[in-house]
Amino acid sequence: MIERGRPAPPESESDARRVLAGAVDVAKEELGPRLAAAFTLGSLAHGGFAPLVSDVDVALVVERSDDDAVARAIERIGGAVRERHPTSALARRLSVFWADWDGVRRGAAGLGRLPELDRLDLLDAGSLLYGEDRRARATRPSRDDLVREAAEFALRKFDAAYLASLRDPTGLVAAGPRTVTKAVLFPVRFRYTLHTGRIGRNDDASRWHRGPGQHLVAAAMRWRVEGIDDLDEAARLLERELSGLYRRFASEYAAALSAMGRDEPAALLRARWPTSG
C-alpha cells in the first residue's frame, strides 16, 4: 500500500519491546534448552529507534548443534510472532540474528546469521533479554572485515532493480518514508563505518556526514520520525542529491578494497556506481 503524506500515528517503542518479548517467548518454545541467551540489537539497544521506519532486531544465542533443527526452529520464529501480532507493522519488521557463543565471540564462521557489523553491535550495545551474558573476552571485528562485508552487502542487495529505483525519485517517495530513508542513509552509514571502524548508526552517521548531500541526509533523518509532508519537494531533493551519495560511497569503498587487495569487488563497485553520469 502506498503511503501518502503524513502517515497514521505509528506504533510506539513500547510496542516494539512487546514484539521483542514475544520473539523471546517463541524462541523458548521452539528451541527449548538449546536457547542460551537473547539480546536486543539495533536502535532499540543503542538508541535512535523510530517506530515509523526502524526494524526490531533480536539476537539469539544457541547451544552448538550440527543438525538443521536449530536453523528450522529459527526460521519459524518470525512467522509465529507475526501470527501473534497480526496488526503490527513492527512485528513484520522483526529481524532475527543468531549464532552460538563461539560465533558471538569470534565470528559465526558459517553457523547462523550474525554478520560482523551486527556482532559488533551485540558486543558493544546488546541488551540481555534472557539467559546468561557470556560476551567476555570476545574478539572484536576488524575494520577490514566490516568494510568487506559492507561491500558484499552492497553488491548483493543493490542490484539492477535497486539502482533503477534510485533513479526514480517519485517512485521512491511513493513507496513511503521507510523505503526513502533507508535508500538515503545506507551509503552514509557505510561510509561512516569505513572511516571510523564503528557501527554506522543513523544519528552518528548523519552528524558525521559533510559535503554534498547534507540537505538530503538531514531531511531523511526528519522523515524517519515525522514522515514525508511535502512529496514533491522530497522528490526534487532526491533528484538533486541521492546519486551523489552513492557515487561517493562506491568510490571510497572501491579504493579501500583495492588497498586490501580485493580488486574484483572494487571493480564491480566502480562499474555499478560510475563516478560520473
Is the pLDDT at 111 greater than 90, yes or no? no
- Quote the CA–CA distance of 31 and 116 in Å, as a whole number: 24
**Domain segments of the chain: what residues?**
13-131, 143-272
List CB contacts of 157: < 8 A, sequence separation 6 or more.
Answer: none
Strands of 127-131's sheet, edge to edge? Answer: 94-100, 56-62, 35-41, 127-131
pLDDT tier for residue 109 given thresholds of 50, 70 and 90: low
Please calculate the CA angle 276-188-78 and round it to the nearest 5 degrees.
120
Confidence of residue 68 (pLDDT cuts 50, 70, 90): confident
φ/ψ of 56, rounded to 5, equals -110, 105
Q: What is the pTM of this model?
A: 0.91
Confidence of residue 57 (pLDDT cuts 50, 70, 90): very high
CB 27 within 8 A of CB 60: yes
The number of angstroms, rounded, from the C-alpha of 221 to the middle of its chain's C-alpha atoms is 15
Q: What is the pLDDT of residues 196-237, one digit of tens each?
A: 999 999 999 999 999 999 999 999 999 999 999 999 999 999
Domain 13-131, what fold? Beta Polymerase; domain 2 (3.30.460)
Residue 153 has pLDDT above 60, yes or no: yes
User: In this structure, what C-alpha cell is assigned to residue 146?
Assistant: 566490516
Contact 268, 254 (CB under 8 A): no
pLDDT confidence of residue 5: 47
- CB contact burial 241-264 (16+ within 10 A = b; e otherwise): bbbebbbbbbebbbebbeeeebee
Task: Please give the residue that has the higher pLDDT: either 98 or 6.
Answer: 98
Q: What angle do CA 74, 80, 82 make, to 5 degrees?
A: 120
Q: Chain-centre distance of CA 245, in angstroms?
A: 18
Distance from chain centroid for Cα 156: 14
CB atoms under 10 Å from CB of 13, counted, come to: 16
Contacts of 166 (CB under 8 A, 6+ apart): 172, 183, 242, 243, 246
